[in-house]
Amino acid sequence: MAQPHDRLVRALLDDVDRMAAILDRLADPPLPCGPTEGRLVRLRDILVDPDLRRSEPDFLYALDGGEDPCDLIVVEHLSQQTPNVPLRALAHTTTLYQDVERAQGRRARFPCVHMVVLYHGAPRWSAPRELEELYARRGGEPGARMNVVVHVIDLGRFDDAEIRRRLGRCAATLLVLLLNHGRGKEIRSRLPEWNDLFQATVEEKGGLSLLRAMVWYLYFVSDIAPEEVRALPFAQDSEETKTMIKTTAERLREEGRTEGRMEGRMEGRTEGLREGLREGLLKGLETLLVARFGEVPSELEELIASANTDTLEALLRRAPTATTPADLLNDSAS
């Protein structure tokens, strides 16, 4: 199952108009390829690092489309900083160049590849943005080799009012605000302030699917029940919206019960193994004591019956060298 913030980001990146708004209005400085609105074409998912298949979706866009685009844009989202992003950008670029060469031959004209990171972590971005910077931080001299630049859109550097001003009343604004505040303690009190943005979200094309991703995100990341979203004024105007949230809540509860049953079975198996080990130690110790001493005193029987696994193991180690059962009782008391 995709992680909640992956669901949310996929909902953002799957819509080219919404993605273009993010790139054009939040990238600072602007991307060197210029405005993307009306020019952005989704090509395909690209996944260079196999680990990204589980957590971080990367998307590939072309400007102006066509079979031979001049500019390609790779978009990746990160919730934590990683110093090797320039290396990942280089890997993306190399993979794309190889694809172009395979498709068009050795005389193919390589497009300009722009690597964009949507970063929604708490501390401001401080990791290297360029390959030369990464190289210099590791003891090398910058300027002597090919550079790769990563365009980081640090969502947390904008306050809420600035995000609203740049993006307007739309789903993209709400998505960015959720990514910025989803893990914060004040998220619950902010929801009523965003009622107009929730309303704008459901009015957009595919809005209910996007809202569903938001409900999942809030439930798993912020422990906000779907019913709390359903209670907001925007949801009262639409039976379809209320039904969707109710259905989502039922599915979340069912998945929670399923997960709980799985965890219970795992705990049960673990407990069974522990109990089986204790039972085996108990039988082994009793057999050894009867073979050595013929009869086991009642005090020692009571001690053995109530002993945990560690005590049984200790008694089993001492039993072969004990002269009488009393030695085991004395050792246990000490």
pLDDT of residue 260: 47
Counting Cα atoms < 13 Å in the Cβ hemisphere of 128 gives: 20
Cα distances (angstroms) measured from residue 79 to each of 5, 22, 64, 177, 189: 9, 17, 30, 14, 23
Kind plus residue range of the DSSP H or E element containing 316: helix 309-318
In this structure, what is the dihedral angle of CA atoms 79, 80, 85, 88, given to the nearest 10 degrees? -60
Residue 292, CA atoms < 13 Å, CB-side half-sphere: 19
pLDDT of residue 136: 80
- Residues 6 or more apart from 275 whose CB is under 8 A from it? none
In angstroms, rounded to a whole number, what is the distance separating the alpha carbons of residues 39 and 48? Answer: 25
Q: Which tokens belong to 33?
A: 């390829």
Identify the pLDDT of residue 12: 72
Higher pLDDT, 78 or 14: 78
pLDDT of the residue at 171:
94
Which of the two residues, 124 and 14, has the higher pLDDT score? 124
Rounded-to-integer distance, Cα 44 and Cα 106, Å: 23
What is the pLDDT of the chain when averaged over all its residues? Answer: 80
Is the confidence at residue 159, as pLDDT, over 90? yes
Distances (CA, A) of 233 to 56, 185, 195, 197, 211: 33, 22, 7, 11, 15
Q: Is the pLDDT of residue 142 over 60?
A: no
Coil, strand or helix: which one is 225?
A: coil
Residue type, 267: E
Distance CA 37, CA 165 (A): 17
Per residue in 185-230, pLDDT tens?
Answer: 889 999 999 999 999 999 998 889 899 888 888 888 888 888 888 9
Query: Would you say 147 and 167 are in contact if contact means Cβ atoms under 8 Å apart?
Result: no
Average pLDDT for residues 281-287, to the nearest whole number? Answer: 75
Q: Which pLDDT belongs to residue 307? A: 80
- Give the CA-trace dihedral at 247, 249, 255, 256, to 10 degrees: -160
Q: For residue range 48-107, what is the model confidence (pLDDT) as tens digits?
A: 444 444 444 478 888 886 677 889 899 988 888 888 888 888 888 888 888 888 888 888
Q: Say if residue 20's pLDDT is above 90.
A: yes
Q: Which pLDDT score is estimated for 2?
A: 54
Domain ranges of the chain: 4-252, 253-333
% of the chain residues with pLDDT over 90? 23
